[in-house]
């Protein structure tokens, strides 16, 4: 197997090549091409490895990363083996293309250590997604692996996300509750000073602020920001400076790509991954599914680069 380098170096190299698409490999039994399905007695054998390997083979020169949502693989031991085999395949056949484990874990350290070992030692992901609800200690077991990255779930694309993520946080009350120090309070006020309301911020902005200005001591954190709320991405970019943004929900969830590209770039005109899965890998159910996935991936990356040339 080719020697692995750290996630940041891999990703930066892909951005420098003009690649911004993160391709999701999420198995859906209802969408597996029939010619593959019919070759196997069950969908939990080698069918998913064959499907994923064909997609990787046709797209590995186009993407900046692959992403696997572990929830799609947890239903059986065979599917877990398929996930492990898929990551190994990417590392062997697409050296330099990192794999993000979309695990969305987040627990106290003695439990988080097991999650980190699962992610980085069993499956050998290069980066993971983690929930921040239990505070900064959530990230510590993952940051013990110095060549990896942790994307903090911040603003998601599901319809009910605002029930929690948009709750207002009174900034002065946050100081009184010792959630923010007075120095952090003044720093955040300075960032949002041009707004009409500087007394509160939505919870997702507080997550972004803490991720950037307190928790990112190792320079190994990024944020998950759904494409369905470009305004949130714009506001977050003023808070986060150059943190990498993992941006799902382009495609079947109808995120506005143009508005996202206006808001997402960092100071170098890079700094983001446009994540798409179903709209690319299931664009065809025929024997040409892998070639069609390549065409759709190429088209999406061309759209991103064309918009960057206009807005950056």
Point out the residues that are catalytic. Answer: 104
Q: Determine whether 276 is exposed, middle or buried from the number of CB atoms within 10 Å of its CB (0-12, 13-18, 19+).
A: buried
Q: How many Å apart are CA 300 and CA 19, to the nearest integer?
A: 10
How far is residue 233 from each of residues 16, 110, 142, 255, measured CA to CA in Å? 22, 33, 25, 12
Phi, psi of 210 (to 5 degrees): -65, -40
Which residues lie below 8 Å from residue 87, measured CB to CB, with a gap of 6+?
Answer: 68, 99, 123, 124, 125
Nearest to 273 by CA among 311, 227, 237: 227
Hey, is 167 helix, strand or coil? coil
Q: How many Å apart are CA 282 and CA 99, to the nearest integer?
A: 20
According to DSSP, the residues that pair with 274 across neighbouring strands are 21, 247
Contact 3, 282 (CB under 8 A): no
Q: How many Å apart are CA 260 and CA 264, to the nearest integer?
A: 6
């Amino acid at each position: 197997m080719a020697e692995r380098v750290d996630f940041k170096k891999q990703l930066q190299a892909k951005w420098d090549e003009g690649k911004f698409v993160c391709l999701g490999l999420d198995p859906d039994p209802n969408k597996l091409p029939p010619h593959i399905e019919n070759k196997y007695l069950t969908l939990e054998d080698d069918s998913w490895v064959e499907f994923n390997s064909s997609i990787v083979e046709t797209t590995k020169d186009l993407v900046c990363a692959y992403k696997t949502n572990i929830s799609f693989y947890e239903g059986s031991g065979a599917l877990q083996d398929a996930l492990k085999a898929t990551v190994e395949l990417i590392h062997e056949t697409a050296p330099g293309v990192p794999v993000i484990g979309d695990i969305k874990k987040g627990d106290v350290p003695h439990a988080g250590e097991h999650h980190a070992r699962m992610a980085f030692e069993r499956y050998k992901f290069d980066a993971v997604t983690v929930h921040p609800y239990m505070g900064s200690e959530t990230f510590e077991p993952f940051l013990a692996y110095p060549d990896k990255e942790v994307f903090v779930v911040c603003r998601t694309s599901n319809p009910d996300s605002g029930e929690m993520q948009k709750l207002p946080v009174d900034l002065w009350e946050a100081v009184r509750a010792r959630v923010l120090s007075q120095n952090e309070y003044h720093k955040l006020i300075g960032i949002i000073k041009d707004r009409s309301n500087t007394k509160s911020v939505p919870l997702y902005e507080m997550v972004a602020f803490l991720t950037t200005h307190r928790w990112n001591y190792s320079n190994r954190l990024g944020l998950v920001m759904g494409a369905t709320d470009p305004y949130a991405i714009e506001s977050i970019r003023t808070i986060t400076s150059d943190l990498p943004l993992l941006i799902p929900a382009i495609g079947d969830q109808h995120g506005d790509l143009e508005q996202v590209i206006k808001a997402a770039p960092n100071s170098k005109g890079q700094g983001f991954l446009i994540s798409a899965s179903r709209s690319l890998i299931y664009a065809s159910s025929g024997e040409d599914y892998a070639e069609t996935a390549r065409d759709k991936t190429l088209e999406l990356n061309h759209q991103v680069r064309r918009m960057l040339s206009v807005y950056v």
